[in-house]
Amino acid sequence: MDSELSIVVPVFNEAGNIEKLCSELIPVLERLHVEWEVIFCDDGSDDATWKIIDLLHKNDERIKGIRFSRNFGHQYALFAGMQHASGRAVITMDGDLQHPPELLPKMLERWRAGDKIVHTVRVYNNKQGIFKRVTSSVYYRLFTFLSGVKMESGMADFRLLDRQVLDELLKFKEEGLFLRGIVHWVGFQSSKLNFQCGERFSGEGKYSLKKMLKLAWTGITSFSLVPLRVSIIIGVLTSLLAFSEMLYAIYAKLFTDTAVPGWASGVAVVSFLFGILFIMLGVLGEYLGRVLIESRSRPRFLISESIGIRQD
């Protein structure tokens, strides 16, 4: 039977958090007096995460699970859970208790009032380092400027989506998913709720600096051609510089007694131009790589097994 509310929770090596999350989440869901389901998507964990999901399902069939064949990434785990959600409203949240279950009633209230999307915005406090706050603010300003899709610092993958919005999102076939950007891009009536980020109950955060940078770059290149256009502008400017240097060398040789500058200046200019060239080739290669991946039409993730999921 379809549920009114689905909770999608992507997890990766969260064996120490899942039971605690359920102990806090289920009482909140019961107070809502709706048909509900919780779908955990195991993103290729190598600890006891899947075994715990199985045990939780045996105790309560409304708790369900999807398991990837390997680690495909947080955004794909979110998308897979959303694909299998049956609710008229779907809430996505992390499995480390940093997204407070106590906010669910307010999200559902906004949805029933007519909002198709209910975003949440993390309110930073002194516990979050200044580096994370500053980089988050700079990135979302840059993303908004480059893509034209307005996003603000603190936006999270903790949100509610109406079934109509979800059905539209599931039509997206692109690689390099950046769901935060896509959800803003589709539009629909929406609102925002602020929340204080909770403490991780167990284990360590899975988003290293490398993964955060990768997600940031994916977001920008998925939504904007500006890096390519900037490369063209830089290429034109550096070409003009090189052409001017060549004209100067010819003029000095033919019409003056001034010696042409030596190898040091020549090497400096050539090195600079080659540096710019390689940067532009790197940006171009990134976009061409995206085209290659899309043309292969490989599945974005593989599900090795599932628990309690209806197979259509």
- Give the pLDDT score at 195: 82
pTM value surpassing 0.75: no
Residues of the chain with pLDDT under 70: 1-2, 124-154, 175-176, 198-280, 282-283, 285-287, 289-298, 311-312
Nearest-5° angle of CA 300, CA 301, CA 307? 145
CB-based contact 53:40 (threshold 8 Å) = yes
Look up the CATH superfamily of 5-224+298-307. Answer: Spore Coat Polysaccharide Biosynthesis Protein SpsA; Chain A (3.90.550.10)
- Give the pLDDT score at 128: 56
- Give the pLDDT score at 73: 84
Question: Which tokens in the block code for residue 298?
Answer: 């490989």
